[in-house]
Structure 1
Amino acid sequence: MRTKLFFASLILFVTFTSCKKEAGKDEVKPVEVETKNNNFQVTLTATVKTDDNFQLYYSQDAYEVPYKEENSVWTAVKANDNPQDIVFNLPEDVIPNYIRIDFGTNEGQKEIVIKNFRMKYYSKSFEAKDSLFFNYFIPNDCVKIIDKKNSVVQNIKTKEGKYDPLFYSEKALYDQIQLIVK
């Protein structure tokens, strides 16, 4: 009887000791260092069904026309039937007054559905969802608004053959930028 009790105790001891060691291994995790990006960030959430490259221009002073190439950021966009975040990280210490978003260079681009526009600077942000986007941006003649309520646009060529679909920011967006950078 004592032998059975001894072996039973030994088996329980080994079982609980080995389980405790495994649990201990799970508790030791590497420390993740979170790097903060405090640059001004613009995110356009949209459904883009054809691979393309989007570009964001910014001006730091008065409303600049034309925008300068050196004051721009490119982002590659992969085709997706679902909305995706198209993120533009502006260079360090750049705070725009006005921005322009070029909706691609691919002339075969299909309809684009705009779901959200977001600007972030440190812990402050501003968002314009769906059709509210049009309260802050004006399209040029290479963008046709197919359905304003559902924020559907189509890039087009002009009669002259020009293809440069883009949206210019309005004074209302300038006002929102000033609120998040203060």
Structure 2
Amino acid sequence: MKKIVLLALTAIGFLSISCKEEKKDENTENKKAPVKENFYVEITAQAAKKDDFAVYYTEDGTIEFKPEKALWRGIAANKEETMVIDFPADIIPTHIRLDLGLNKEQDSVTISKIKIGYLDNAIEIKGSQFFDYFVIDNQFKTTVDPSKATITFIKNGTEYKTPYYYPRQELVNKIKQITAGLKATN
């Protein structure tokens, strides 16, 4: 009789544990990150000095970037952070340009990744992949560290010029995929 009672208690114990596990799984599924309903750009970077970055955009398929179509975010000094640049809900860009800082005393800026997304579609660009998606501009000095997957923009000469980068066709195609609801692949 003791064996039957012990067996029954063991079975009840297993059943209650497995039910708890199922409830945990249900709760984690319900806690998924909410889907953003706007276009966004996230830049994970570190600047030697406090600065401001901008994402310029166009909606007409051109690269005629204008100051009134720019979104700005600040970055602290000497600490890696992710700047989230949320576009207004009614803005879906066709092209974007990155401007990496206004601070004339800036020494360097290191980017480890850029994420560009819309709804539940996104592309993540490692810093070392930067020039796969943005046009190289030789007036700005850069170093790529493949082992850390980063790109660093360095002061070239005595005066720091704001590095700005236009999109390559590859990025324009990815933005089209993202905003058309197609899953973008890196």
Same fold (TM over 0.5): yes
State the alpha-carbon separation in 2 of the partners of residues 84 and 177 from structure 1: 24
Match of residue 114 from structure 2: 117
Query: Following TM superposition, by how much is the alpha carbon of 1:165 offset from its aligned partner in structure 2, in angstroms?
Result: 1.6
Query: Following TM superposition, by how much is the alpha carbon of 1:134 offset from its aligned partner in structure 2, in angstroms?
Result: 1.5
Query: Following TM superposition, by how much is the alpha carbon of 1:35 offset from its aligned partner in structure 2, in angstroms?
Result: 7.6
> For this pair of structures, how many residues does the alignment match?
146
Match of residue 126 from structure 1: 123
The one-letter code of the counterpart of 1:174 is V
Match of residue 162 from structure 2: 164
The answer to whether the aligner puts 1:154 opposite 2:163 as a matched pair is no
In 1, are the aligned partners of 2:53 and 2:73 still within 8 Å (CA)? yes
Match of residue 9 from structure 2: none
The answer to whether the aligner puts 1:174 opposite 2:172 as a matched pair is yes
Match of residue 68 from structure 1: 66
Query: Following TM superposition, by how much is the alpha carbon of 1:49 offset from its aligned partner in structure 2, in angstroms?
Result: 2.1
Match of 1:177, SS state, is: helix
Percent same amino acid at aligned positions? Answer: 29
State the alpha-carbon separation in 2 of the partners of residues 94 and 157 from structure 1: 38
- For 2:97, which of 83, 93, 100 is the aligned residue? 100
Distance verdict in 2 for CA 1:122–1:154, change over 3 Å: same
RMSD, matched Cα: 2.5
- For 1:88, which of 85, 91, 104 is the aligned residue? 85
In 1, are the aligned partners of 2:57 and 2:93 still within 8 Å (CA)? yes
State the alpha-carbon separation in 2 of the partners of residues 39 and 155 from structure 1: 34
In 2, are the aligned partners of 1:141 and 1:165 still within 8 Å (CA)? no
* CA deviations over 1:109-138 (Å, ceiling 9, x no partner): 122221101011111111111211220012
Query: Following TM superposition, by how much is the alpha carbon of 1:104 offset from its aligned partner in structure 2, in angstroms?
Result: 0.6
Query: Following TM superposition, by how much is the alpha carbon of 1:154 offset from its aligned partner in structure 2, in angstroms?
Result: 1.4
Identify unmatched segments of 5+ residues in structure 2. 1-32, 181-186
Distance verdict in 2 for CA 1:170–1:148, change over 3 Å: farther
Q: How does 1:37-76 map to 2 (within 5 A)?
A: 37-65=36-64, 67-76=65-74
